[in-house]
Chain A
Amino acid sequence: MGALLRSAWCVFQRNLLVYRHVWRGSLFMGFLSPLLFLLSMGLGVGALVRTEGVLPAGASFLTFLGSGLLASTCMQTGSFESSFPIVGKMVWRRNYEAMFATPVSVGAIVLGELLWLAARLVMVAAAFACVLAAFGVGTLASLVPAVAAAVLTGLAFGACVMAYAATLRDGANFNALFRFGITPLFLFSGVFFPITRLPAPIRWLAPTTPLFHGVELTRGLVLGTLGAQAAVIHVTYLVVMVGLGASVAYWIFRRRLWT
């Protein structure tokens, strides 16, 4: 156990070392993209929409949208960071092969990647929360747990995408995943409007999707309207998804590295 954690920490440090060469641009984007979204959609579109009777009582469109985007941004970050970067380390540059030639085990590699993903998500979500606070959305007490919820959402997606990415060979592409998976979820999971507005079949489907749970959890925490039962359901859903994704990722990493 000690060796596993120690090695996982090394994998984490390796990613940090690589990140140190690119952090400026990455951090800048972390602030810029929520800023642009909240300016255009939140203030711009927000001025056009009628919210009373549609949104939960007391929620402005900006708060509604901002909290949803916090969760969906983590979904996108988690998915993206687990796509090409993982294929790169598995196939193109074979960094995992290099690690696996040392006492670092497959479990440590997967755990280290998940730890690193969590750290990246914390950076992205924290930057996002800072922008929200600048727009007057939420308080420190509501944004800190909301960041945690968004990070959990990102991890759930990240773990699953990581497992998928690890199956890919050369010439990997994630077009289908992003076009038919991530983008529809982004549009129809209640980020921009309550899912009750959706036509019937999609309306029933939406609550079964992972982003819906991430958005509800994060938004409930920002608004302070989250019920205990709902919290348990959302968290359980996302934690199970992290667990399943991580287990499958471990299994696939092992098959790829130990051949």
Chain B
Amino acid sequence: MPSSEGALVSARRLTKRFESFTAVGGIDFDVQPGEAFGFLGPNGAGKTSTMRMIGCASPVTSGELRIFGMDPRRDASRIKAKLGVVPQLDNLDAEITVRENLEMYARYFDVPKAVARARVEELLDFVQLTDRAGSKVEPLSGGMKRRVTIARALVNNPDLILLDEPTTGLDPQARHLIWERLYRLKRDGATVILTTHYMDEAEQLCDRLVVMDKAAIVAEGSPRQLIERYVTKEVLELRLSPDIRASLDGRLDGLAERIEVLPDRVQLHTADGERALEHVYTRGIPIESALVRRASLEDVFLRLTGRTLVE
């Protein structure tokens, strides 16, 4: 556990209950300045509940939470003034234009008009929406709305950016555009907290992340550390016909450090996937197809929880 010294966000035994249901069950984490910190976990893990507490939009049930060293119970407005929030679901003003959305939001933060105007143009350019600035939000595509929301979260020049599932539900092209923008923010030194249930998003964007499942943190580290700690370097995925799979009877034993039999495939976790595959062939096991790939956070999650991240 890194110390909370100098951390922008620091949580100890942070807990959120809705009546008797525990959405966040006493988690500890720290986010350092300049860091891109992630919460990776499936739906219902408690990611949004955690983000809303950090955003001072939700009361902490118990435990301790400090943001910029301040207490959300007492200093909510002062904390919010320094946050940029991208909620899980867009909540733009659909009836007004893209530019008006940003300018209006700047007013909520009491940004002086002239400063806001310049900043809004800059941000429109940053999210590549200058040509749509005068159009209403309603008819924009999901990816464009998401970019407007991201630009809106930056109007107050926040010290900390909260992104709750920034690319969920978007097509690959829209996702990549957003990743590229977020990557630039990160490179320019912004502190970012993001949640996701996409392991590739976490791998690309997070310096450090926690894996969350059922209201608890089950692992913490950089993407590489987590993969090194919990899984082997490579994974050999085999597709077998159902009757072969049913009659495997230990014929794969010894070929890998760990063997995972999933409903549609068998995964062999090993440092050298190609060699394991050769052994599969020499043992004469008939396979439908085989794939050797680098281990990912998905495998970490499977290892830790016995389930896949996205069902």
- Residue ranges of A at the interface with B (Cβ–Cβ < 8 Å): 3, 6-7, 10, 13-14, 17-18, 21-22, 93-95, 97-105, 257-259
Q: Which residue of B lies closest to A102 (CB)?
A: B108
Per-position 1/0 for B59-90, Cβ under 8 A of A: 10000000000000000011011010101010
Using A93-B93, A98-B92 as known contacts, say yes or no to A259 and B58 having CB atoms under 8 A apart.
yes
Distance between Cα atoms of A100 and B18 in the complex (Å): 20
- The interface on chain B, measured as residues whose beta carbon lies within 8 A of the other chain's beta carbons, has a size of 27
Please name the 5 residue pairs, one residue from A and one from B, whose CB atoms are nearest each other, closest first: A94-B91, A102-B108, A98-B91, A101-B85, A103-B77
- Residue ranges of B at the interface with A (Cβ–Cβ < 8 Å): 18, 55, 57-59, 77-78, 80-81, 83, 85, 87, 89, 91-96, 100, 104-105, 107-110, 156
Min CB distance B167 to A, Å, is 19
**Inter-subunit contact A103/B93 (CB<8 Å):** no
Q: Give chain A's interface secondary structure class.
A: helix
Q: Give chain B's interface secondary structure class.
A: loop
Most buried by A among B55, B59, B93, B96: B93
**Inter-subunit contact A258/B59 (CB<8 Å):** yes
**Inter-subunit contact B100/A99 (CB<8 Å):** no
**Inter-subunit contact B77/A105 (CB<8 Å):** yes
Cβ–Cβ < 8 Å partners of A93 in chain B: 91-94
Cβ–Cβ < 8 Å partners of A94 in chain B: 87, 89, 91
Q: Which residue of B lies closest to A22 (CB)?
A: B95
Cβ–Cβ < 8 Å partners of A95 in chain B: 91, 93
Using A97-B57, A97-B87, A257-B57 as known contacts, say yes or no to A102 and B109 having CB atoms under 8 A apart.
yes
Residue from A14, A17, A103, A258 in contact with B58 in the complex, judged by beta carbons closer than 8 Å:
A258
Min CB distance A10 to B, Å, is 5
Distance between Cα atoms of A103 and B304 in the complex (Å): 39
Most buried by A among B80, B89, B91, B93: B91
